[in-house]
Amino acid sequence: MATGPAGSGPARLIGFGEVLTRLATQGRVQLAQARSLDLHIGGAEANVAAALASLGHRTAMVSAIPHHGLGDSAWRALSAAGVDLRHSVRAPGRQGLYFLTPGGSLRASEILYDRAGSAFALHDWAGFDWQAALAGAEWLHVSGITPALGPDLALATHTAMAAARALGLRISFDGNYRPALWESWDSNPRAILTELVRQADLFFANHRDMALLLDHPFSGDGEARRREAALAGFEAFPNLKWIASTARHVETSDCHRLAARIDTLETGFQTREVLMPGIIDRIGGGDAFAAGVLHGLIEGTDVPRAAELGLALACLKHSVPGDMALFPRADVEGFSGEGADVKR
């Protein structure tokens, strides 16, 4: 049975995915000019598990992490964040990396992946005991990044979701479409993702993700277009109960406006738009949003409150470096979206 920190009972949410090491240039210099790099630990599912652990939820990760220094760093970071790793394995091979060149002014940030042939990608998941890993849990969280890594991981993701469905867990799926990963092998992302989304209860996706899956563009603009896309999603995937997304307007690399939205079959709710000047780091903002929404749903809040919690944690993530949004519950639940003086 997957248990949380200090044996505190079954984990409420299990994540399945690769834990990555991020190497970012300092001072916003371009990668070719860099002489030193900042190291952070991340990964879509790991970021969600860590954020929820900081909010007081018992979480666990299923992953394969190499048995060397870089892997030790990743293992320690997740353990320190309160994520249970007893169903993760230490495996031979390399640590998945990505390099970040932070943007500045009108220059966008840029990510370069170096994760091919990683310990996670090459691990044999065929015999993994999903029944044991998922026992006692309430949610499984996965993303479209893991099946994009190759046919074996596409099958492993499907197997994990099918096991969760059989055990009565709810399934959270973040689209996280990464064209470069899908294009690295002879894949059919629309077909694979369609099969996975069919098993999900909660889908983090906007109108562009839905257009990719359904091969159908959506007309209109703003909230009307998102509602049209959501209704098409509910029709195509009748198991879905919630579709959640953010709406981001980029003014410069360090000044964005962000709103959040959750749709159900019956209605849609979109939050106010929050201005985020002086952004420190936007990487991981989508995972923070997912964690905030999941926090609300796990706690049994209504849809508007879950959307507000997702927005709150996403905005807070933009204020700190690194991939993970490690904020206490009071900071998230008390978020106002306005500039604040020093807390004393």
**Residue corresponding to tokens 């500045």:** 104
| Whole-number pLDDT of residue 139 | 98
Residue 326 CA to chain centroid, in angstroms? 14
| Whole-number pLDDT of residue 54 | 98
What residues have CB less than 8 Å from 280, skipping those under 6 apart? Answer: 318, 319, 320, 321
Pairwise CA distance, residues 328 & 344, whole Å: 17
Strands 89-91, 64-66: parallel, antiparallel or unpaired by DSSP? parallel
Strands 139-143, 13-16: parallel, antiparallel or unpaired by DSSP? parallel
| Whole-number pLDDT of residue 55 | 97
With cut-offs at 50, 70 and 90, classify the pLDDT of residue 337: confident
The rounded percent of the chain whose pLDDT value lies above 90 is 88
Dig out the tokens for 276 from the structure: 């985020």
With cut-offs at 50, 70 and 90, classify the pLDDT of residue 339: low
Dig out the tokens for 298 from the structure: 């796990």
How confident is the prediction for the chain on average, in pLDDT?
A: 93
Confirm if 77 and 326 have CB atoms less than 8 A apart. no
| Whole-number pLDDT of residue 295 | 98
Q: Measure the CA angle with vertex 149, ends 144 and 153; round to 5°.
A: 80
The CA-atom distances, in angstroms, between 227 and each of 86, 267, 289 are: 41, 9, 19
Lowest mean pLDDT among 8-12, 79-83, 182-186: 8-12
Mean pLDDT over residues 216-220, rounded? 84
pLDDT digits (tens, 9 = 90+) for 236-290: 999 999 999 999 999 998 999 999 999 999 999 999 999 999 999 999 999 999 9
pLDDT digits (tens, 9 = 90+) for 294-307: 999 999 999 999 99
- Please determine, for residue 101, whether its predicted confidence score (pLDDT) is greater than 80: yes
With cut-offs at 50, 70 and 90, classify the pLDDT of residue 16: very high
Query: pTM of the prediction?
Result: 0.94
What residues have CB less than 8 Å from 98, skipping those under 6 apart? Answer: 20, 21, 22, 23, 111, 112, 113, 114, 115
Mean pLDDT over residues 126-152, rounded? 97
pLDDT digits (tens, 9 = 90+) for 56-99: 999 999 999 999 999 999 999 999 999 999 999 999 999 999 99
| Whole-number pLDDT of residue 36 | 94
With cut-offs at 50, 70 and 90, classify the pLDDT of residue 1: very low
